[in-house]
Amino acid sequence: MKLARRVEQLPPYLFARISELIAAKRAEGVDVISFGIGDPDIPTPGYILDSLKQASDVAANHRYPETEGLPEFREAVARWYQRRHGVTLDPAREVVSLIGSKEGIGHFPLVLIDPGDVALMTDPGYPVYEIGTMFCGGEAVKVPLTEEDGWLPRLDDIPADLADRAKLIWLNYPNNPTGAVTDLAFFERAVAWAKRHDVIIAHDLAYSEVTFDGYVAPSILEVDGARDVAIEFNSLSKSFNMTGWRIGMAVGNATLIDALRRVKSNLDSGVPQAVQQMAITALDGPPAAIEAHNDIYRARRDRVIEVLHALGLRVDPPKASLYVWARLPGGESSSAAYAARLIDATGVVVTPGISYGPAGEGYIRLSLTLPDARVEEGLRRLSAFARGETVLNR
């Protein structure tokens, strides 16, 4: 059997590899504590679940949904963007529902990228940006980020001939994996750069509501003229602890939204309508639940950073996202080797920075999405490891 080259060249998905590592350790009898995957442990708020239960009894919701999403859902997205970002959207032309933002991100390159076309993506970055381009036969070119630049790309340092060839650039702030944040001034510069080089900006805003210490994440669509060159992806997964329900949205340039809708209409049948109804409840609801969840994540962040410092890792407290991004101690050069040593000695899983691209080498990422008791147990083991104590009895 001969598989397509795109499949044969496909690297194992990052979190699938982490799951395999966890399973192998558990088979050895190790109580594994994973800081690897950013899947919120806090349940979906009860009032949102109640709306799903009610919607599930409506017979019309038992049938195929429309790809673009219920008009009521798209209107709720538009209301939320107006209230949250001061951005006015046309629900009929500038909003489309997604089966989680990952689905939309993976499918979006089909809108722009033909074989041989160039897409730019920041490094380190979410692996799906590159994979979507690869599936289209495009060339993924990585733009390196550095800690010294606050994990923001130097767009004007991209060679002009490369920028002119590129059809698409992926941006993601608040950032996964680094937790880096930005302001509207950066987006203004990005929009101006994109217009000079005729490049589309795809901005991933999935962590917009997971913020700390007074930071408020902007939308790129807040920039005047951004809709000429930009599309933005968002999700209810992290904001409302709804990862399992698979509901998100893309908004922005009407031509791009229509093209993505046409691609999706040939590949999926949309988000179940009862799930869209619960999303409407979430988007129209009070912010209290988000604030309460962020208080929990912030407390975990502070505890994790305290222990990482004891391990000799350097950490700047992130103002957003579900992650802590930490530089390895002096003398350590391989993030994969360091992560392997941690799980072998402590049963604690962290994600090697190299998994997010070459510029991620020298760092590890820890997720804050474990129950408090598991966080504390994991930190207890790491603290014992830092003191040179034996953690696992073999």
The residue ranges of every structural domain in the chain are 5-44+288-386, 59-284
State pLDDT tens for residues 67-84: 999 999 999 999 999 999
pLDDT at residue number 198: 98
Indicate the average pLDDT of the chain.
95
State pLDDT tens for residues 262-316: 999 999 999 999 999 999 999 999 999 999 999 999 999 999 999 999 999 999 9
Q: Which of 147, 143, 146, 150 lies closest to 129, judged by CA?
A: 143
State pLDDT tens for residues 81-119: 999 999 999 999 999 999 999 999 999 999 999 999 999
Residue 384 above 90 pLDDT? yes
Residue 341 above 60 pLDDT? yes
Q: Higher-confidence residue: 341 or 193? A: 193
What fold is seen in the domain 59-284?
Answer: Aspartate Aminotransferase; domain 2 (3.40.640)
Segment 213-228 shows an average pLDDT of: 98
Give the percent of the chain with pLDDT over 90: 88
What fold is seen in the domain 5-44+288-386?
Answer: Aspartate Aminotransferase, domain 1 (3.90.1150)
Segment 137-164 shows an average pLDDT of: 97
pTM for this prediction? 0.95
Question: Do the domains at 5-44+288-386 and 59-284 have one common CATH topology?
Answer: no
Give the percent of the chain with pLDDT over 70: 98
Q: Higher-confidence residue: 4 or 247? A: 247
